[in-house]
């Protein structure tokens, strides 16, 4: 398996709309001819992809893109190719096929121009290819590392631009998590923390993400919103782990959007012993903890076996089980928030003995634990009334809080309608209380362990168990 590689790449460059279909057909033919698997996204703002294949075929793929007749990806605009080696037969099939899509954004952010967010009418997407929106200063892994250690701690804020479920399995020591379920919430985080909370304006802000692509728009939006000193980790966590490996300031694993789920550091890295130094003032005290919208998770205790780049190792868990709080950092298919269907951490013990209704809750919806259940089949009329009363109180507290809370109010109203419908069915004798209740998958709603084994969601989709 040593000659199988996975590459991550992206390039923001303006592409003519009329050229997209041609590029799509070309990519499809290229991927098929080389026997590749993966996902490639094309938009008028550029290209983004994750592709898997043999080392030789990956090299051919890269060369073909850089030599394309459109000259969009030529040497002077060279793509930063990030390579990972596959070490098992299971990893060699991280993608079941090769898919090329034309999309609005090469990474879904929903980030709009700051100038149009407060104006009436449709919001215009932030044009990352326009010189009007300069991105943050790109820092090499070494520069980023030294800034973490030597930067002015009272003025330094490190922000993770990824989603909460990515942060949960690994993050830089002391980094702020915006608590996002999707990148479109970045705008809300900036609005809430520009002059209050983290007070980003006037601070030295360091951003990072998986491979660098999300930081481009995130930093451009932050700068356009009034933050002047904004930098980002060039090449993202991927490049940092190549450079510093297990001796750096990144804790846990790097979440990836394929069947590997997460990748651990693979050794000491390339930097010298002096560069690995992590003592001193640094970020050990998590100086920005007071402004976290989602608290940083402890990194001690709890280990999982990780096999990356041919090396078996123990990786300390930095996350916590969303049910019992045990140290845990492994996501699994089917472990989704019952409210929003985002990934949540659930340890093996709580997965085998789940809470009532087999309902798990992400951090953003933790306040609904015990009163919000997606499946109501196993609850009696009395239990439904208890849920109803609690949700009605929550809804009353949400009323009058403005547009920013409209989604929360809608969620509560929809669940109250669901409970009322279930009560009518029970009263009319059109339904009975399941005893014991049948456990169902939150994603596909099929019977768990019979019709679904967690392979119906996202990159877990396949025909056999993956855990």
Closest CA to 333 of 253, 442, 450: 442
Question: Angle at CA 67, nearest 5°, toward 61 and 71?
Answer: 130
Let me know if 232 is exposed, middle or buried by CB neighbors in 10 A (0-12, 13-18, 19+).
buried
Q: Give per-residue burial for 341-375: e unless 16+ CB within 10 Å, then b.
A: ebbbbbbeebbeebbebbbbbbbbbeebbebbbbb
CB atoms within 10 A of CB 278: 15
The answer to whether 209 is a known catalytic residue is: yes
DSSP bridge partners of 206: 158, 231
Let me know if 154 is exposed, middle or buried by CB neighbors in 10 A (0-12, 13-18, 19+).
exposed
Distance between CA atoms of residues 174 and 188, nearest Å: 21
8 Å CB contact between 38 and 97:
no
8 Å CB contact between 4 and 54:
yes
8 Å CB contact between 372 and 359:
yes
Closest CA to 263 of 310, 318, 308, 302: 308
Q: Where are the beta strands (DSSP E) in 140-241?
A: 156-160, 170-172, 204-208, 230-233
Distance between CA atoms of residues 249 and 267, nearest Å: 14
Identify how many contiguous H helices and E strands the chain contains and give both numbers: 11, 15
Question: Angle at CA 101, nearest 5°, toward 18 and 49?
Answer: 110
Catalytic annotation, pick one of 52, 198, 209, 321: 209
The position carrying tokens 């080392």 is: 55
Catalytic positions, please? 209
């Amino acid at each position: 398996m040593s000659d199988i590689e996975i590459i991550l790449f992206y390039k923001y460059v303006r592409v003519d709309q009329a050229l997209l279909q041609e590029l799509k057909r070309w990519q499809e033919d290229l991927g098929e001819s080389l026997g590749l698997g993966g996902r490639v996204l094309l938009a008028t703002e550029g290209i983004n992809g994750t592709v898997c294949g043999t080392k030789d075929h990956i090299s051919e793929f890269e060369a073909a893109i850089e030599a394309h007749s459109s000259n969009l990806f030529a040497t002077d605009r060279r793509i930063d190719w990030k390579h990972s080696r596959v070490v098992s037969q299971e990893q060699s099939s991280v993608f079941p096929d090769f898919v090329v899509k034309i999309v609005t954004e090469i990474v879904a952010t929903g980030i709009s121009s700051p100038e149009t967010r407060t104006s009436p009418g449709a919001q215009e997407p932030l044009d990352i290819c326009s010189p009007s929106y300069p991105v943050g200063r790109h820092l090499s892994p070494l520069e980023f590392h030294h800034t973490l250690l030597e930067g002015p701690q009272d003025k330094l804020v490190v922000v993770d631009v990824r989603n909460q479920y990515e942060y949960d399995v690994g993050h830089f020591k002391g980094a702020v998590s915006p608590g996002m379920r999707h990148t479109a919430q970045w705008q809300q985080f900036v609005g809430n923390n520009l002059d209050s909370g983290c007070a980003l304006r006037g601070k030295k802000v360091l951003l990072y993400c998986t491979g660098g692509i999300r930081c481009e728009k995130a930093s451009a939006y932050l700068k356009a919103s009034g933050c002047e000193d904004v930098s980002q980790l060039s090449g993202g966590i991927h490049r940092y782990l190549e450079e510093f490996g297990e001796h750096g300031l990144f804790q846990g694993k790097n979440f990836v959007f394929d069947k590997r789920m997460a990748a651990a550091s693979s050794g000491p890295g390339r930097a010298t012993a002096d560069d690995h130094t992590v003592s001193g003032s640094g970020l050990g005290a998590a100086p920005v903890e007071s402004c976290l919208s989602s608290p940083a998770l402890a990194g001690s205790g709890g280990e999982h076996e990780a096999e990356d780049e041919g090396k078996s190792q123990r990786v300390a868990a930095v996350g916590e089980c969303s049910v019992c709080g045990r140290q845990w950092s492994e996501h699994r298919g089917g472990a989704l928030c019952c409210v929003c269907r985002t990934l949540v951490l659930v340890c093996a013990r709580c997965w085998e003995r789940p809470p009532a209704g087999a309902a798990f809750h992400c951090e953003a919806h933790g306040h609904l634990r015990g009163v919000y259940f997606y499946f109501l089949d196993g609850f009696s009329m009395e239990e439904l009334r208890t849920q109803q009363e609690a949700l009605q109180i929550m809804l009353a507290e949400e009323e009058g809080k403005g547009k920013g809370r409209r989604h929360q109010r809608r969620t509560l109203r929809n669940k109250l309608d669901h409970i009322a419908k279930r009560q009518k069915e029970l009263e009319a004798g059109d339904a009975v209380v399941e005893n014991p209740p049948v456990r169902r998958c939150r994603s596909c709603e099929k019977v768990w362990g019979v019709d679904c084994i967690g392979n119906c969601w996202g990159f877990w989709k396949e025909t056999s168990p993956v855990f």
